[in-house]
Structure 1
Amino acid sequence: MHMEADDPKQIVLQVGGSLKKLRKEKRLSLEELSEISGVSKLTLGNIERGDTNPTLGLLWKISKSLSIPLMSLFSTENKSQISRAGKGLRITGEQKTWIMEPIFQNTSNEIEMCRAYLQPHSSYFPEPHHQYSTEIVTVMSGSITIHVNEEAHHLNQYDSISFNAEGKHSYVNHSDDEAVLHIILKYKL
């Protein structure tokens, strides 16, 4: 994963601090979190200290094992926020064909919103999300095919889909244009 912001090191430290705080609130040791998440104790410690830039897949595993929304790991204390496209935190997948921008990071409720960009002729295969989570996707520009389990759904601009996100799903952009998506994740934690 690659995170971009005004100060990338600050974001890595923020994720580490948030993880440590959330882990302690759940009264878990690093070893216990390692056991339930499948992420090594060493890696978790490195994340908490801000010594490593974790992959998006690792962060999904951690948030799922803590039963928290993914964006809780990026939480800020600000009560009012403005999210401008192309500004602030940007999280890219390992192949840099998928870019995600959290719209609002205040996750005191059980809903997250983000903008996502899928490059032309590329695909993204996210980790399965939390149990009972729902994903709602609207195509803001371009077109994509979303596979939910074994079923393919083609969406054009302004089309939306809602599905259970705990199962296997993927995004495919067969076009010559970047696809821009608005994604809402609703959790039942």
Structure 2
Amino acid sequence: MNLEIDDPKRVVLQIRAVLKKLRKEKRLSLEDLSELSGVSKLTLGNIERGETNPTIGMLWKISKSLSIPLMALFSTENNVNLSRAGEGLRIVGDGNNWAIEPVFQNTNNDMEIYRAYLQPNSTYYPEKHHHNTTELATIMSGTITINVNNESYILNQHDSISFSTDGTHSYANHTNDVVVLHFILKYEI
């Protein structure tokens, strides 16, 4: 997955600053974080210097190793936040079949809300989430099949599902229309 935004350099600089701050707060060297995350020391250094646009897979590994929600790496502090569909940060999957837009993150860093889009006739297999994470999804438009631990659930517009992400899960759109859903990740970290 790649990060897409109107101003990609702004996102890279924001991740750079937040990652360096979080790493130092946890008293980790680049080498320590590399060992914990599985992301090379060179790549971590490039991210912290703002010299690379990290993949979503790298960011998931880093957030898991720091025991923080993914969106904590994009943290901004403001009393009022507005999230408009199609504006701001957009994370797009390889092949462009899946895209998510972070909506909000609560101040305790234990919950994130996303808006997601699954293209027609495609399937998305998410990266492994933090241990003890609960995912709650509501279908805003369309019909989707969500597979959780080899059990399939068909959800229509306004249907919701909640499940532990400790096992496997995937999203499949077997229709000719884009499916839009909102989902919440609730972390127990």
Q: TM-score range by the shorter chain?
A: over 0.9
> Retained in 1: the 8 A contact 2:3–2:56?
no
What secondary structure does 2:96 align onto? coil
| Structure 1 residue identity aligned to 2:175 | S
Task: Compute the displacement of 1:61 (Å).
Answer: 1.0
Structure 1 unpaired stretches of 5+: none
Aligned to 2:26: 26
Percent of aligned pairs with the same residue?
A: 67
Task: Compute the displacement of 1:17 (Å).
Answer: 1.3
> Retained in 1: the 8 A contact 2:3–2:55?
no
Aligned to 2:116: 116
Aligned to 1:129: 129
> Retained in 1: the 8 A contact 2:60–2:127?
yes
Deviations 1:28-81 (A, max 9, x none): 111111111111111111111111111111111111111100000111122211
Paired residues for 1:166-181 under 5 Å: 166-181=166-181
Q: Verify: 1:48 aligned to 2:16, yes or no.
A: no
Aligned to 1:143: 143
Aligned to 1:76: 76
Worse-superposed segment, 173-182 or 45-54: 45-54
Aligned to 1:15: 15
Paired residues for 1:96-107 under 5 Å: 96-105=96-105, 107=107
- Distance in 2, matches of 1:116 and 1:27, equals 35
RMSD: 1.2
TM-score by length of 1: 0.95
| Structure 2 residue identity aligned to 1:65 | S
TM-score by length of 2: 0.95
- Distance in 1, matches of 2:107 and 2:89, equals 15
Q: Verify: 1:159 aligned to 2:159, yes or no.
A: yes
What secondary structure does 1:126 align onto? coil
- Distance in 2, matches of 1:44 and 1:166, equals 26
* Residues matched between the structures, number: 189
CA distance change for structure 1 residues 64 and 107 in 2, over 3 Å: closer, same or farther? farther
Deviations 1:156-184 (A, max 9, x none): 11111101113221111111000001010
> Retained in 1: the 8 A contact 2:117–2:180?
yes
Structure 2 unpaired stretches of 5+: none
> Retained in 1: the 8 A contact 2:72–2:109?
no
- Distance in 2, matches of 1:32 and 1:43, equals 13
- Distance in 2, matches of 1:98 and 1:12, equals 21
- Distance in 2, matches of 1:91 and 1:36, equals 24
Task: Compute the displacement of 1:6 (Å).
Answer: 3.2
What secondary structure does 1:163 align onto? strand
Aligned to 1:4: 4
> Retained in 1: the 8 A contact 2:105–2:111?
no
